[in-house]
Amino acid sequence: MVQTVGIIKAITNLNEAHAKLNLSQTADPEFFTEWFENLPELIESEKATLNRLKSRYLYYAADGSITEGAVNIIMLAPLLELMGLCDPPFKIQSEKLVKIEIENGGEEPMLEGFSDALVVQDRLWVVLIESKRYGLSVMQALGQTLAYMMANPNLEMPVFGMITTGEDYIFIKLNQQTHSYDLSDKFTLSKRRNNELYEVLRVMKRIVSLVTQV
């Protein structure tokens, strides 16, 4: 009988993801250009919505920690709605069980876990979102998020992900065939003069446009 181990238990940090999934961060500067090249412009109504979301987040953050459930409601859901990812041809599946077979897993040949939210188009994972509590670094969720992304059934296409705490956002691109990945810069709402949700939405739009062209 194949032993199954939970992703959260088996992969608690980035080094474990590298070792158990045979992953490495590429040094190729051309690997992940989608997060800064050919980004679409935003219209004024989108900017107004993003300004409201930033103000909303800061309003809640003033009370201290924000739970993961609250972040999903006040930030992620409106962003997905703004992108049109709640409607056909996309479909959001929350708490979806994902399984990953480990080729040389030893005592852990199969990992499984539930992703917080993901967007799927014809079995192609467009955006994987792993939200974490306020006060935690987005990098602390990278190992588990990479594990979820490795469960993508379409090996020919790259997988894109986004990790957020509500305040900070970072994008990931993963090539399952080469077991390589890279990260974007971190976008944050802690900057007073700029609303970096603008860049977050532009990157999301860019990724979705690439996926819908295939």
Cis amide leading into 109 (omega within 30): no
Average the pLDDT over 72-77 and give the result.
90
Element (H, E) at 161: strand 159-164
Amino acid type, 125: W
Closest CA to 96 of 125, 61, 63: 125
Range of the structural domain that residue 146 is part of:
4-212
Residue 1: pLDDT band (50, 70, 90) is very low
Q: How far is CA 119 from CA 10, 97, 98, 143, in A?
A: 25, 14, 13, 19
Q: Give the CA angle between residues 123, 127, 133 to the nearest 5°.
A: 130
Looking at the predicted structure, is the pLDDT value of residue 118 above 60? yes
Residue 4: pLDDT band (50, 70, 90) is low
Q: Which of 130-134, 184-188, 192-196 has the lowest mean pLDDT?
A: 130-134
Q: What is the model's pLDDT at position 182? A: 98
Distance CA 41, CA 10 (A): 41
Provide, rounded to the nearest whole percent, the portion of the chain with pLDDT above 90. 40
Q: How far apart are the first and last CA of the chain?
A: 38
Distance CA 82, CA 92 (A): 14
- The token pair that represents 25 in the structure block: 């961060």
Can you give the CATH number for the domain in which 129 is found? 3.90.1570
Residue showing tokens 């003033």: 62
CB 16 within 8 A of CB 140: no
Number of domains into which the chain is organized: 1
Exposure string for 72-104, b = 16+ CB within 10 A, e = fewer: bebbbeebbebbebeeeebebeeebebebebee
